[in-house]
Amino acid sequence: MQSPLLWRGLGEAPRPSFAAIFDLDGTLIDNTPYHLKSWQALFKNHGKGELTKDTYYNEISGVPVMETIKRIFGADRNDEELKQLLNEKEDFYRKEYGPFVKPLNGLENFLAELKNHGVKMALATSATVKDIDFVLDKIPIRADFDAIINSTMVSEPKPHPQIFLKAAEKLNTAPADCVVFEDSLAGIKAANSAGMKVIGITTSHTAAELQPCSLVINDYSELSVNKMAELFEKQDK
């Protein structure tokens, strides 16, 4: 069987047949500790007690901010108050993380390799539009993505697979031919539910915790287009 790495069209050069879908927080950048710090400050400022690291990584990370704010603070607050809480949390995060924004090791070279091989790419993130712009205005990778899907474009948050299925639709690629890059447990569950390959990144969890994944990496220096293709080759054997 021909390797799924290459797809040949009439008169066209070979190109990979799969697409790549990236989460943002903890996946393109190692910013999760700053999100944790901002959530801890919000909990403390509004009398919700101490937010532990384990609770954050297992119940909050990867889920849209407003979904969590509604769950934790929504019982006695109206929509305007909830928006104020969101802005308070996000303003704290951007102030703390702003001086340190940088891509995960090897990211820019890896994205360039994918682009040079004609791999379609999407960003599919639970982050707000403001937070997406905050990162992409500092790291010049916006043009690498063929589509950007944020939480306002779907009705179901992770771990529901909707955001990744929408990304596949935007890329005109079957879900089974997509590889998702994720760091959160909610995101990994969403990608698996979408029937996609998943590459876990150990910015938020250990390799043992990032299961089930097709592959686990520490950063993008460990990855290549050929290594991604092997995920599909193993499936076909």
On whether the CB atoms of residues 104 and 183 are closer than 8 A, the answer is no
Q: What pLDDT, in 10s, does the model give residues 78-129? A: 999 999 999 999 999 999 999 999 999 999 999 999 999 999 999 999 998 9
**Across the chain, what does the average pLDDT equal?**
91
Whether 11 has a pLDDT exceeding 70, the answer reads no
Whether 194 has a pLDDT exceeding 90, the answer reads yes
Q: Tell me how far apart the alpha carbons of residues 155 and 179 are, in angstroms, rounded to a whole number.
A: 22
Q: In a 3-state reduction of DSSP, which class is residue 182?
A: strand
Q: In a 3-state reduction of DSSP, which class is residue 233?
A: helix
Whether 1 has a pLDDT exceeding 50, the answer reads no
- What is residue 46's predicted lDDT score, i.e. its pLDDT? 94
SS in 3 state form for 84-126? HHHHHHHHHHHHHHHHHCCECCCHHHHHHHHHHCCCEEEEECC
Query: What are the structural domains of the chain?
Result: 19-31+103-236 (3.40.50.1000), 32-100 (1.10.150.240)
Query: Is the bond preceding 161 in cis, omega lying within 30 degrees of 0?
Result: no
Output the pTM of the full model. Answer: 0.89
Beta strands in the chain (DSSP E): 19-22, 120-124, 147-149, 178-182, 197-201, 215-217
Q: Tell me how far apart the alpha carbons of residues 70 and 58 are, in angstroms, rounded to a whole number.
A: 17
What angle is formed at CA 158 by the lines to CA 154 and CA 164, rounded to 5 degrees? 60
- What is residue 217's predicted lDDT score, i.e. its pLDDT? 97
Whether 196 has a pLDDT exceeding 70, the answer reads yes
HSE-CB at 63 with a 13 A cutoff on CA atoms is 19
How would residue 76 be classed by pLDDT, with cut points 50, 70 and 90? confident
On whether the CB atoms of residues 213 and 198 are closer than 8 A, the answer is yes
Measuring CA to CA, which residue among 206, 209, 222, 213 is closest to residue 104? 222
HSE-CB at 4 with a 13 A cutoff on CA atoms is 18
64 Cα distance to chain centroid = 11
Whether 9 has a pLDDT exceeding 80, the answer reads no
Mean pLDDT over 216-234 rounds to 93
Whether 165 has a pLDDT exceeding 60, the answer reads yes
Query: Is the bond preceding 212 in cis, omega lying within 30 degrees of 0?
Result: yes
